[in-house]
Structure 1
Amino acid sequence: MNFQVTPGMRRLGASVLGLEAIVMGLITPVAISVNGVKPALAVTVGIGLLVLCLVAAGLLKRPIGYVLGTVVQVLAICSGFLVPTMFFLGVIFAALWITSIFVARRVEGVTSR
């Protein structure tokens, strides 16, 4: 399978992952104060997902970055077990992630002709 990375895919994907990293960092205090999650677990999940978002954004020049970005989307949805709102936000970020890949490929395919 040939997965070609385009500059538009990198830009849009990095934008989605950057915004998602901010949200992932902010679930830590919400999980602790609102949902009563133990601080060690909340920090591990929240900051861990934040770091994964940033690493995935940095790797978007290669196809492995898109695999890691997709894993981040699944984990973001699963973080809803700590902060229930994240079920909804995780699905929205996953939709943005998928849309960013397909829209960028379509736009760059049209402009390259």
Structure 2
Amino acid sequence: MRTLCSSTLIGEFFVIGFAALVAMKDPGLSMATVWTVSGIAMLLCLLLCGVATRPSGVVLGWALQVALIASGLVVPMMYFLGAVFAALWWASVHFGRKIEEARARFAAQAAEAGPPADAA
């Protein structure tokens, strides 16, 4: 699960950075505000990579997805990109858990079978 979730979060890191470049063109926003908010979101993406397998990490990841969709208020294309990354986040969590369950099942089967016999 960690690999899938981290890949999604790193992709979001770059999308947030590019969205900040677009948001800088808005005359109603100061550059400091854009980069402070974007920087916090980008830092959160990196920090979540480390805790993505914990339940609190998954919840924070969902909060990040909601914030990414809400950023469409400033950069309208983010409605679409936020929805895409929310779907990727769901897939990462869902299929990541299935992969972990399968690995645990295979490890248990291998432990029951005992050590492999020597071929020599």
Same fold (TM over 0.5): yes
How far apart in 2 are the matches of 1:13 and 1:58?
A: 10
Please say if 1:103 is aligned against 2:95: yes
Using the TM superposition, give the Cα deviation of residue 40 of structure 1 relative to its aligned residue in structure 2, in angstroms: 2.1
Q: Share of identical aligned residues, percent?
A: 40
- Correspondence for 2:71: 79
Matched, 1:67 2:59: yes
| CA offsets 1:53-86 (integer angstroms, 9 cap, x no match) | 1111121242211111111111111111111111
Cα distance, 1:105 vs structure 2: 1.9
Does the CA-based 8 Å contact 1:26-1:46 persist in structure 2?
no
Q: How does 1:21-60 map to 2 (within 5 A)?
A: 21-33=13-25, 35-36=26-27, 37-60=29-52
Deviation at 1:109, TM superposition (A): 3.0
TM-score by length of structure 2 reads: 0.78
SS of aligned partner of 2:24: helix
Q: TM-score, normalised by structure 1?
A: 0.82
State the superposition RMSD in angstroms. 1.6
Letter in 2 for 1:58: G
